[in-house]
Structure formats: structure tokens, C-alpha cells
Amino acid sequence: MQFHDSMISLVGNTPLVKLNHVTEGIQATVLAKVEYFNPGGSVKDRIALRMIEAAERSGELKPGGTIVEPTSGNTGVGLAIVAQQKGYKCIFVCPDKVSLDKINVLRAYGAEVVVCPTAVDPEHPDSYYNVSDRLVRETPNAWKPDQYSNPNNPRSHYETTGPELWEQTDGKITHFVAGVGTGGTISGTGNYLKEASGGAVKVIGADPEGSVYSGGSGRPYLVEGVGEDFWPSAYDRKVADGIVAVSDKDSFQMTRRLAKEEGLLVGGSCGMAVVAALEVARELGPDDVVVVLLPDSGRGYMSKIFSDEWMADYGFLEDTTSATVADVLR
Ligand code: PMP
């Protein structure tokens, strides 16, 4: 019989898919690492598994304990799946810009979710960082993975995502592009690929305009899961050879093109990363292999990025509309 012991053993080993249409005019090969094939639907299943198993080994997470974490949704899903299979409880703290769809997913997996305001400083008592600290203090047997500072976040990518890409491309990868949230993906994957290639692989971060990684002040933006208003320790500041800042509008328009033209129904941070990857690839030749990591699925964003009304409200449809008219005239 062929079966997996539980959903946990399906984490990682995601496919690499060539982008064929949004890459028009580009000579380099552009490949997408499609992380929605993870059982929880995002790249974050990788860090959830590694952080929980490390905490079990160190004794920080005790049998029957409660996992408390501030998360924009995806890390929560990964933690919730691993936790329920291993007999732990979960309480998640989310900022209010996270879609209700995502919050309901966490609740479906059996987690408790506390929603906090986005428009307050990280130091404010109601900020989602502070609320989660308070819950850790007040909940018996609580453990906070803290994906922002947990070394097992980047390590999970150093041990899984990096080696997978090196093997899948037969060592031919020349550029790795990823959005930066906690910085775990780019740091772990990037450092592995640099070591494996003797420093040849170039690592490029994609960041929403306004976030600190591309020199911003932390000004609000709408793309979820990436960008920060502080510098987390999970992010290795030496790993990136460059950072590309991408606007919400460009991110979301590319996200819609990925669904329409590549059959990839993915989230807004994926569109953002692809915009950055194409910017990099445009300068390269036919021997270059650019891999862009797509963190999650578009299912959690149907009432936002994939709603014409929502896109129009923010003025994000403008160019697309004129492009459609031009297509009709042609
Ligand atoms: N995109 C989405 C949708 C995410 O949830 C995250 C994680 N915060 C990222 C990108 C960025 O990944 P990382 O935290 O590893 O930098």
C-alpha cells in the first residue's frame, strides 16, 4: 500500500514550474517554486514543522502545551496542522488587514484567533506582537515559536527549500528571488544556494514599496505577508545581493496575470516576487536560470485581488482596463 502517515509528511518537495507567458521577451529561463502544494497551502508549513520539532526536542514545548504566535495566517495554518496531529492547542494573533477567509481557515483547523489593529506601533499594547506576548504570559504551558527570531525558521529553508532547488535545477540555478517577510525564506534558501554554488548564485529580495527592506519607513501597503516596519533577526542582512521594491498595483496586476496566463492562482506576494524576478531576468541571457518562490495560493484573496470591485476601489485596475480596450481594437 502507498500512503503517507499523516499530512505532516507531505510538507516540502514542491514542484518547479516554468513561466511561459508573463516572461515574453525574456531570454533567461524563469522557474516558479510553487509552495501552495504544501499540505497547508503555503511555504510556512516548512518552518512550522521545523520549529515545533525543535521545541519538542529542547523541552520548550511540553505534551499538551499551547502554541501562541502572531501570524498573518500562513504560519498559523502550518502550525495548526502540525499541532493538531501532535496534540497541541493553538492561539493565533492576526492584524486586522488579514482577510476573513484566512482567519476562518485557521479556525477550521481548530485554532483560536485573536484579531488586532494594524494601524498601531509595534510598541503599542494592542499591537499584535504585544498581545501575543501577554497571551504567552497568561496561558499555562504556552510556547511562542516567534518566527521573526526563531533560528529554525531560516534553518528549515537551509535544510529543505535550498537543497530542493539545487537538485531540481541540477545546479544550474543562477538567481533566486523571494519576497521578504520574516526573512526566513530568503536567508535560509539564499545562504544554502550561495554555499552550494561557491557564491555564484545571486539572491534578490522583493519588498513592498514602503517597507524597511527597500529603504522605506514602514508606511502601510496592502500586499500581505511581506515587508516589515522593523528588522527581524530571522533575516540575514548579508544574504541579498539586491532588493527590488514593488508597488501594490504592480504586485496585484501580476498576481491576476499569473492566474489568467500561467494557470497559477497564487497570492499577492507571489505577484510581487514575480515582478521583481522579471525585472532581474530582463537583464540576463539564455543560460541564466532564475527561480522565484511563490509562497501561497490565491484562494485566500478572492474577495480582494481577484475582485474587480476591490481592485477598482484602489485604482489598481487602471492600466489593465486600457490594455483590454487596446486588445479589443487590435
Ligand atoms: N508571502 C506570504 C503570503 C507570507 O505569508 C510570507 C511569510 N510571512 C512571506 C511571503 C515571506 O516569507 P518569509 O517570512 O520567509 O520572509
Please, which residues have CB within 8 angstroms of residue 35's CB and are 6 or more apart in sequence? 14, 42, 43, 293, 294, 295, 296
d(C-alpha 311, C-alpha 305), whole Å: 6
State the pLDDT at residue 68: 96
Residue 322 near residue 64, CB atoms below 8 Å: no
97 catalytically annotated: no
188 dihedral zone (left: phi>0; alpha: psi -120 to 50; beta): alpha
pLDDT < 70: residue spans in the chain: 72, 319-330
With a 6 A CB cut-off, is 70 part of the ligand 1 pocket? no
For ligand 1, is residue 38 a contact (CB within 6 Å)?
no
Longest dimension (CA), the chain: 66
CB within 8 A of 195, min separation 6: which ones?
none
Tell which one of 44, 157, 270 to mutate to probe ligand 1, the residue whose CB is within 8 A of the most ligand atoms: 44
Query: How far is residue 73's CA from residue 82's CA, in Å, rounded to a whole number?
Result: 14
Q: Counting atoms of ligand 1 from 1, which one is nearest the CA of 184?
A: 15
| pLDDT value, residue 325 | 47
The verdict on the CB of residue 205 being under 6 Å from ligand 1 is no
Query: Looking at residue 72, what is its pLDDT?
Result: 67
CA of 140 to the centre of ligand 1 (A): 29
* 122: phi then psi, degrees, rounded to nearest 5: -55, -25
Give the up-direction half-sphere exposure of residue 185: CA atoms within 13 A in the CB hemisphere: 31
Residue nearest to atom 7 of ligand 1 (CA): 225
Tell me the C-alpha distance between 283 and 306, whole Å: 30
Euclidean distance between the first and final Cα of the chain, in Å?
A: 56
Q: What is the pLDDT of residue 108?
A: 96
Global confidence as pTM: 0.92
In this prediction, the answer to ipTM > 0.90 reads: yes
Residue 269 cell numbers, joined: 506576494
pLDDT of residue 214: 87
Q: How do residues 159-172 score in pLDDT, each as one tens digit?
A: 999 999 999 999 99
Give the up-direction half-sphere exposure of residue 272: CA atoms within 13 A in the CB hemisphere: 31
- pLDDT for 328 equals 45
Ligand 1 centroid from CA 327, angstroms: 35
